Amino acid sequence: MSDASNLWLIEEIRQNRIAESLWFADENNYQDFSLLNRVEIKPGVISNRWDIVQQALGQGFTAEFSDFDLTHLPDQSQKRIFYRVSKEKPLTHYLINQSARLLQAGGELLLCGEKNDGIKTYTDKAARLFGCSVKASKLGLGYCACLPLLSPQPEAQLDDQSYPQLRQVSPSAELSFYSKPGLFGWNKIDQGSALLIAQLEQHLPSDPLQSLLDLGCGYGYLTLMTGKLAIRQRFATDNNAAALLAAEKNFASQGLEVQLVAADAGDRLKEKVDLLLCNPPFHQGFGTEGDLTDKFLAAGRRLLKDSGWGFYVVNQFIPLERKAEKLFSQVQLLCQAQGFKVFCLRP
């Protein structure tokens, strides 16, 4: 369910009567659009999540899928911006800075979030940038603020760590890749993914494999680590625009031909594959969402050939074996170490 701050934002959008308005929507707005089917004047939606863009389009909103690329929007083109702060601080800072650029004089940023999200600090920083004296108001467990752009203070811009730019990361002497804040494990090699690759190398089937799918690819680590396998077709998919940008650059830098698809747990893919690799997410914004494991298991069962091999890694507290046995004929625990479990699943 939506949290208190999101419910406030939804009500503000319901009451909105200004056409020149934007909504920066991310994974924290996942369930909100079904509550807005009767809004008369809909703000334009920009989201870095494929599924959210599809929900917005389904409710009659104009919506764009990008990693919040706002370069095509003119300065001072908006009168109102709606934003529930993101999980990633550089992204929140970036969107507050962009709001100061995009808003007309006297225009408003409607900002909200829960106490533990840092909303009070974000509001104070935005107020300095906007040249106003607004403080966040308590709203149940959440906080909200309507910040008018009165006297912009460019020197008070928030440190967004050059959020739009991919940057090269070298977590080891053997591996270098492109990534950015906001991606899962963006500046390191995820231990679970590394464990999956180690098990894959030990249990890779001897049968020839024609196709591979990296389901929820992130910046592309799992696919990159299979670069030496003689596989004719590679697919990778993710719901996150930043992940797709990073994966595309990483695959190109390694000379890997990979078909990248923006999709929600592979829902746009039709072709079945021989080998599927997956480190499924278990966070939805600031919260933990157990149903995501079920979602990625169901997608894997649909996308694997009957003779296919699926390799999954999850945190040790997730009961994947119980969830997977409803869908797969064989569920084999290959390894349990470092707080993770690696499984091989057969249809």
Residue 304 in contact with residue 310, Cβ under 8 Å?
yes
CATH T-level fold of 167-346: Rossmann fold (3.40.50)
User: Residue 305, Cα to own-chain centre: how many angstroms?
Assistant: 28
Helix (H, G, I), strand (E, B) or coil at 93: helix
As beta bridge partners, residue 342 has 313, 335
- Alpha carbons within 13 A on the beta-carbon side of 82: 29
* pTM strictly above 0.85: yes
Domains 4-156 and 167-346 belong to one CATH topology: yes
Q: Which of 288, 272, 280 is nearest to 311 (CA)?
A: 280
User: Residue 265, Cα to own-chain centre: how many angstroms?
Assistant: 12
Question: Residue 233's CB: how many other CB atoms inside 10 A?
Answer: 15
Q: Hunting for tokens 């040249």 — which residue is that?
A: 131
Structure tokens at 226: 């299979």
Structure tokens at 252: 């190109």
> Could you tell me what percentage of the chain is helix, strand and coil, using 3-state DSSP and rounding each to the nearest 5?
30, 30, 40
Residue 259 in contact with residue 193, Cβ under 8 Å?
no
Structure tokens at 28: 């924290």
d(CA 81, CA 179): 28
pLDDT for 248: 98
Residue 274 in contact with residue 305, Cβ under 8 Å?
yes
The letter for the amino acid at 313 is V
Residue 174 in contact with residue 136, Cβ under 8 Å?
no
Q: What is the DSSP letter of 176?
A: -
> Buried (b) or exposed (e) across 146-172, using 16+ Cβ within 10 A?
ebbbeebeeeebbebeebbebeebeee
Residue 312 in contact with residue 278, Cβ under 8 Å?
yes
Which homologous superfamily is 4-156 in? Vaccinia Virus protein VP39 (3.40.50.150)
Binned average pLDDT, 10 residues per bin, the chain of 347 residues: 83 94 92 82 96 94 97 98 96 98 98 94 98 95 96 97 94 88 87 96 90 97 94 97 97 96 96 97 53 93 97 95 96 96 97
As beta bridge partners, residue 336 has 341
Structure tokens at 173: 């002497």
Q: Per-residue pLDDT tens for 234-254?
A: 999 999 999 999 999 999 999
Q: Which of 271, 206, 205 is nearest to 236 (CA)?
A: 271
* Domain residue extents for the chain: 4-156, 167-346
Residue 111 in contact with residue 145, Cβ under 8 Å?
yes
Q: What angle do CA 124, 95, 139 make, to 5 degrees?
A: 50
Q: Per-residue pLDDT tens for 30-83?
A: 777 888 878 889 999 999 999 999 999 999 999 999 999 999 999 999 999 999
How many residues in the chain? 347
Helix axes 89-102, 119-130, angle to 10 degrees: 30
pLDDT for 290: 55
